[in-house]
Structure 1
């Protein structure tokens, strides 16, 4: 039994399931429809594939070695998440009591946009590749081949995300009868918009990681 692999799977599961911008964006898209929710979830997984591939290749070290590159990506990611948050807040505020939340979000325009939204939300987070770069080597046994092992660990992360995020989308869709009621939809849109706005503002204002 590979105790380190089991331990890593537990750590990775906690990381993947931790609520954040990815989770919030998937929920918002799933409220539009099952297809847009699943598409957004797959976009998030695609972003994780990029991050884990960068970590395996060691390219994520560039983000640590070149502060300007890290800060540029951090600002771009924060600005995008902030943009999504402001749009959600505006959508919630424009809805009158008893009315449905306006279909003003990117989720309402189709699965392709939802896929892109999920991908960009994840891939523009510069902390993810740095986290994987620092985490993966800790679960490589002494004397083991580094590349195959890190590829295995990266595969575990992607597999967990491939289960978790579509499951979230499907669950939200199942609860959609209640969540899509005007008052509930407005509340969810407002809360998700507030969360995304706060996360985006934090990324934009955050100092460069050293």
Structure 2
């Protein structure tokens, strides 16, 4: 048995399952529909794939070594999280209405496809614009590469483990939220979730926008 691989899987599982911006956007999108939640979850996994690929290619080291580039990613990520947070807070404060949504051009199929694409994009951008992720992978992956093995195949294996864990965890979260939809989609519960998720995303966005580069690399 590969003890280091088992240990890495445990560490990676805890890292993936840790509540944060990814978890928040998946929950929020899952309240819209199961398809939106799963699409958002797949988008998050896609963002992780980008980060792990950067770490494998060594490009994450460039990001860390160039403070201006790191700060640019940090500002983009903060601005995007702040945007999502403000949208959620505005939705939480919006007066309840029983009026159905306006029909969109192209019919329900086109509308559903646009919603899924939007949720997929939200999940991907939320994770891909997280400046801490490449630093984390760059510092974590090499620790689980044995000295007697080739670094590239081993790092690819570890990166695959992270993406697979994300593809298991985040869709499971989306399905759980959808399964609890009977209670979570009540007007009061929806407002509460929107308020909590909006506050969390806004705080995370502000931290990224105002935090120094050194703090973001911890």
TM range (shorter): over 0.9
Give the alignment partner of residue 179 of structure 2, picking from 144, 159, 174.
Answer: 174
Cα distance in structure 1, aligned partners of 2:92 and 2:165: 32
1:55-204 maps to which residues of 2 (within 5 A)? 55-96=55-96, 110-204=115-209
Deviation at 1:108, TM superposition (A): 11
TM-score by length of 2: 0.90
Deviations 1:106-136 (A, max 9, x none): x996000000000000000111011101100
Q: Which runs of 5+ in 2 are unaligned?
A: 102-111
RMSD: 1.7
Aligned to 1:42: 42
TM-score (norm 1): 0.93
**Residue in structure 2 matching 1:208, options 175, 193, 213:** 213
Q: Aligned equivalents of 2:113 and 2:210: distance in 1?
A: 30
Task: Tell me how far apart the structure 1 counterparts of residues 94 and 182 of structure 2 sit (CA, whole Å).
Answer: 22
Alpha-carbon separation, structure 2, partners of 1:52 and 1:108: 28
CA contact (8 A) 1:36 1:114 kept: yes
1:94 CA drift (Å):
1.4
Distance 1:18-1:169 versus aligned 2 partners, 3 A rule:
same
Cα distance, 1:95 vs. partner? 2.8
Listed one character per residue, the Cα deviations across residues 28-61 of structure 1 (whole Å, up to 9, x for unaligned) are 0000000000000000000000000000111000
Partner Cα distance (1:172, 1:108) in 2 = 21
The aligned length equals 204
Whether the aligned pair in 2 keeps the contact of 1:77 and 1:203 (CA below 8 Å) is yes
Runs of 4+ residues over 3 Å off in structure 1: none
- Structure 2: how far apart are the matches of 1:64 and 1:165? 27
Question: In 2, are the aligned partners of 1:53 and 1:154 still within 8 Å (CA)?
Answer: yes
Which runs of 5 or more structure 1 residues have no equivalent in the other structure? none
